[in-house]
A = this chain, B = another copy of it.
Amino acid sequence: MPFKQVFRVRWVDTDVAGVMHFTNFLRYFEACEEEFYRSIFLPFNTIREKYGIMLPRIEVHCQYKAACRFDDFIEVTMKVREIAEKTVTYDFQTVRLHDQKLAAKGSIICIAVNAEWKAVPLPADLTKSLRERGT
């Protein structure tokens, strides 16, 4: 089931063009991801303490379809698209709530690394939670 999270575009998110800066869409993707991991009781720092791993990004992609402006409510939807041995791929969409327009869609690929930043397999029960709750 996709995971959804609503945010409000802040003044500091905007730039002189009057719209949300393109990098902030990715920051809201990540904010949604953070809430998803909390929802499966595995916030990033718990993952770090429990499994000794982190999940840095190895690839991001985003297409921008419509601008978002200060005060807009935006809904970010996240879905786990693919789980490999050491990587997980999420798909994201951002919709402007006032007119239901797709504002952005993209994806992020993360890799599991240990404390020495070496790639390692994803822990089995993390994989299980991602599959059950994120797909």
Q: Is the CB of B16 within 8 A of A56?
A: no
CB-CB contacts of A48-76 with B at 8 A, as 1s and 0s? Answer: 00000010111111111001011100000
Report the copy number of this chain in the oligomer.
Answer: 4
CB-CB contacts of A2-35 with B at 8 A, as 1s and 0s? Answer: 0000001011101111110111101100110010
Q: Is the CB of A71 within 8 A of B56?
A: no
Q: Report A61 CB to chain B, min CB distance, Å.
A: 5
Residues of A within 8 A of B (CB): 8, 10-12, 14-19, 21-24, 26-27, 30-31, 34, 38, 43-45, 54, 56-64, 67, 69-71, 117
Please give me the 3 A-B residue pairs with the lowest Cβ-Cβ distance, nearest first.
Answer: A14-B16, A22-B57, A23-B23
